Copies of this chain bind each other. A is one copy, B any other.
Amino acid sequence: MTVSDAGEEALLLRILERAPHPPEGEVWAGDDAAALATPSTGRLLVTTDMLVEGVDFSLDHFSGGDIGWKCAAVNISDIAAMGGIASHVVVSLGLPGDAPQGLFEGILDGILDMAASCGVALIGGDLSSAAEVVISATALGRARGRFVTRSGAREGDVLCVTGSLGGAAAGLGLLRGGIAGDDMLDNARRRQLRPSPRTEEGPLLAELGATAMIDLSDGLARDLARLARASGVGCSIEASALPVDPAAAAASSILKTDATSLAVTGGEDYELLVALPEDRLDDAVSEMEGRSGLSVLGALTSDRAISIAGRAIESWEEEAWQHFRSQS
């Protein structure tokens, strides 16, 4: 049974059957637009991200569930990186006509599972045919108190990162290499296929006084460069300060690559890179205990030069992934 056999109306009905129901006075999926009660305070946060087959994922490694999960997760992560709490998501999905209906069902499952795990509701979407699988989500959320941009970091602030780095890139390498393995390697694969956005940590770090924050979708090198340039600061990060994911370390020898390189350029870890005033650091470290953990990378400087493990940021950026650039 392909999606073409099923037809658009039947697939839309499947979404309506599966999607959560709105509270009284709201309309979600099934009309021209969703209608939501407006939050009475704070800021409305909006973000959109598209994943494309052959660019962001391969059907050789990703199930439908992984695709749907990841698309919801990367958008919810962007809301967390503003210090916000995601609440609603809409999804546009393009599928080849000969795609099995199971792929569609899997994608829907993945979106709903990820969203439900963060208290986010799927409230609408669009289906289209396309040459490859293309999925674009828009997440809405709310910053109850202050929201945190990329540009507020100041000299003397401490640069920190949640969790660990390099796991998702290691996972991609293992998947591409078809390398089976133990639980440790499974962790790396899971970080690539089913990332966990830092939905608790983002709002907490905002409350604790974070001056700048960004989620690590494109890797530490590229995302640090964005935060530091937007804030007009620099920093020097020692290799020993990098919280390399144990799974990345374990995978690096199998993949014949360098664990530091995975951690710096890998991308898709969806950890939060955050600048904190020095006097809030202890509180932040203790709040993040039992959650993601928080590692100090270094102090931000008025000198805008950025280096990681002794190498200038520009040379790391060259190594990192960029859309529309062919990879060497």
**Which A residues are within 8 Å of any B CB, using their own CB?**
3-4, 6-9, 11, 26-27, 30-52, 54-56, 78-79, 81-82, 84, 88, 90-95, 97, 123-132, 134, 136, 138-143, 147, 149-151, 213-215, 230, 322-326
Contacts and interface: CB of A to CB of B under 8 A. Distances in A.
Nearest to A46: B34
Contacts of A39: 38
B129 A131 contact: no
Nearest to A127: B323
Contacts of A51: 128
B324 A126 contact: no
A92 B8 CA distance: 22
A50 to B, nearest CB: 4
Nearest to A26: B43
Contacts of A38: 38-44, 142
Nearest to A4: B324
Which residue, of A7, A9, A47, A90, has the highest number of chain B Cβ atoms within 10 A?
A: A47
Contacts of A139: 33
A122 to B, nearest CB: 11
B35 A323 contact: no
A140 B42 CA distance: 17
A97 B55 CA distance: 11
A311 to B, nearest CB: 20
A325 B128 CA distance: 11
Contacts of A43: 26, 35-38
Nearest to A50: B92
A27 B143 CA distance: 12
A31 B82 contact: yes
Given A131-B131, A136-B92, A150 B31 contact: yes
Nearest to A214: B32
A44 B37 contact: yes
A46 B128 contact: no
Contacts of A215: 32
Given A34-B46, A38-B39, A130-B134, 16 more contacts: A4-B326, A8-B323, A8-B324, A30-B150, A32-B213, A33-B82, A33-B84, A36-B45, A38-B38, A46-B88, A48-B136, A50-B128, A50-B134, A52-B128, A95-B324, A97-B326
